[in-house]
C-alpha cells in the first residue's frame, strides 16, 4: 500500500513528480508568510540553506496540525547568487533583471524537504545544485521572458529546466529533480527505508 502523503505545497511540479512516481498525494498548500520568515531568519544571519529548511518545516508543520497521523511533506527552494537570496519574479521586468544578474555566473539552488508527522519533524534534506549560466544578451533575455513568462513566473530562477530554460546553462552540478524543486530520489529512499514503499 503506497503511503498517503500530504504535500504542503502549491507547486504543480512537486505534485507531478510525486504522482508520476506512483505516490498518492493530497495537496494542501500551506499559506505561511514566507517573506516575514525569510527576513527574520536573514536578520539572524541564517544561511540560504537554513532559510530553505526552515521555510519547508514551517509549511509542513502548518499542514501537519490539520492532518493528524499523516506524513506531511513541506518544501522550499531558495536561489542564492553571491550571498544574495532571490525571490520569485513578480513581473516580466523583474524576471529580466534576475536573468541579467544570473547571466554568465554560477548560482546555487537549495531545495529543502521536511517530513512532519503529528507536529514532529521525522526527516529533512537540503539538496544543493550549482548552475552555471551562459552569458546572455539583453535582447535574448527580453525575447526569452516574453516567450516564457507564463511558465517561468512560477519558477524561482526564471527558468524551467525541463523546458527552454535548459538552453541557458553551460553546466549543472547536482540533481535534476532538485532543480525542479523536489529531491525525489532522497524522499523515495526515505519512504522505502521506512517500509512505506516496496521495490
Ligand atoms: N517546473 C519547474 N519548476 C521549477 C524549476 N525551478 C524552480 N521551479 C519551481 C519549483 C517551485 O514550485 C518553485 C520554487 O518556489 P517555492 O519553493 O517557494 O515553492 P512554491 O511557491 O511554488 O510553492 P509552495 O511555497 O511550496 O506552496 O519554483 C524548474 O526548472 N522547473
Residue keyed to cell 511533506:
73
What pLDDT, on a 0 to 100 scale, did the predictor assign at position 3?
56
| Pocket, ligand 1, Cβ cutoff 6 A | 9-11, 13, 29, 59, 75-77, 88, 154-157, 159-162, 165, 179-181
C-alpha cell at 65: 496540525
| Whether the predicted model's global pTM rises above the 0.90 cut | yes
Average per-residue pLDDT in the chain? 95
Lowest mean pLDDT among 84-88, 101-105, 134-138, 171-175: 84-88
Concatenated DSSP letters of 35-90: HHHHHHHHHTT--HHHHHHHHHHHHHHHHHTTSTT-EEEEEEEEEEETTEEEPPPS
Q: Which residue owns the Cα nearest ligand 1 atom 8?
A: 155
Identify the structural domains of the chain with CATH numbers, from first to last: 5-193 (3.90.950.10)
Cβ atoms of 88 and 154 closer than 8 Å? yes
Residue 150 annotated as catalytic: no
Compute the distance from residue 3 Cα to the ligand 1 centre, in Å: 23
How sure is the predictor about 57, in pLDDT bands with cuts at 50, 70 and 90? Answer: very high
141-180 per-position pLDDT tens digit: 999 999 999 999 999 999 999 999 999 999 999 999 999 9
Amino acid at each position: 500500500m503506497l503511503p498517503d502523503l500530504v504535500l504542503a505545497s502549491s507547486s504543480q511540479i512537486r505534485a507531478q513528480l510525486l504522482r508520476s512516481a506512483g505516490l498518492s498525494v493530497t495537496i494542501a498548500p500551506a499559506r505561511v508568510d514566507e517573506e516575514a520568515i525569510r527576513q527574520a531568519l536573514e536578520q539572524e544571519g541564517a544561511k540560504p540553506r537554513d532559510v530553505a529548511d526552515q521555510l519547508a518545516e514551517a509549511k509542513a508543520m502548518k499542514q501537519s496540525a490539520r492532518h493528524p497521523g499523516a506524513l506531511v511533506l513541506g518544501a522550499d527552494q531558495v536561489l542564492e547568487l553571491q550571498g544574495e537570496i532571490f525571490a520569485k519574479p513578480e513581473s516580466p521586468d523583474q524576471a529580466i533583471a534576475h536573468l541579467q544578474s544570473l547571466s554568465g555566473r554560477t548560482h546555487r539552488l537549495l531545495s529543502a524537504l521536511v517530513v512532519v508527522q503529528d507536529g514532529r519533524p521525522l526527516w529533512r534534506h537540503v539538496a544543493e545544485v550549482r548552475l552555471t549560466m551562459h552569458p546572455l544578451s539583453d535582447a535574448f533575455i527580453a525575447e526569452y521572458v516574453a516567450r516564457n513568462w507564463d511558465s517561468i513566473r512560477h519558477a524561482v530562477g526564471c527558468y524551467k529546466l525541463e523546458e527552454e530554460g535548459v538552453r541557458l546553462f553551460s553546466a549543472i552540478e547536482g540533481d535534476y529533480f532538485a532543480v525542479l524543486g523536489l529531491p525525489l530520489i532522497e524522499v523515495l529512499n526515505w519512504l522505502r527505508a521506512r517500509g512505506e514503499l516496496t521495490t
